[in-house]
Amino acid sequence: MTNHEFLTRIDGLFYRATDPAFREYALSGSVTAGRYSAVSQPTLYLSSSPEGVEAAMMAHRTQRAPASEILCIRVAANNIFDLRDTHALRYAGIDINDAIAPWQEIVAAGGIPRSWRVRRRLEALGAAGLIDPSRKAPGLWHLVLFQWNQGAEVSAELID
């Protein structure tokens, strides 16, 4: 198996909660640390459905704008790693428990969560992002982009 055999293509509509006052920056990525990113790492967190956005935001209630809107974003991306694929996880040497381990308290204490190491490993293997199964709502999933709109590999466009 080569790196590209376990990387997949994604093409479809995804969703993101945004403060309406910052709608124009919706494709700028996260401005705070996240499960797969330090503040300094560009990362675009999306969900495969509006229900997925709501599930994901459960963990961010204190950081959430009082009135957020759910935006629709069209994504076409190559080289996406699917954390739901046990064969791909084994090939990449990734333990799913590292991806789903608690991270917020570790970051708040100045530490590096295990999930950030998952990202580093995937980037080293050529991944432009990952599919992350929802921990709050089994069956739902999220798309995490490490890069976008920098070339032909990954594009993200806000749909009005």
Which residues are 17's β-sheet partners? 70
pTM for this structure?
A: 0.92
Beta bridge partners of 16: 71
Helix H, strand E, coil C: the string for 75-144 is EEEEEEEECCCHHHHHHHCCCHHHHHCCCHHHHHCCCCCHHHHHHHHHHHCCCCEEEEECCCCCCCEEEE
Task: For residue range 94-148, list pLDDT tens digits in order.
Answer: 999 999 999 999 999 999 999 999 999 999 999 999 999 998 888 999 999 999 9
Per residue in 20-58, pLDDT (tens digit) is: 999 999 999 999 999 999 999 999 999 999 999 988 877
Give, in degrees to the nearest 5, the angle at Cα 21 between 17 and 22. Answer: 60
Residue where the block lists tokens 């998952």: 118
Q: Which domains does the chain have, with CATH numbers?
A: 3-159 (3.90.175)
pLDDT at 1 over 70: no
What are the tokens at 1? Answer: 């198996």
DSSP designation for 21: G
Among 10, 8, 18, 9, which residue's Cα sits nearest to residue 158? 18
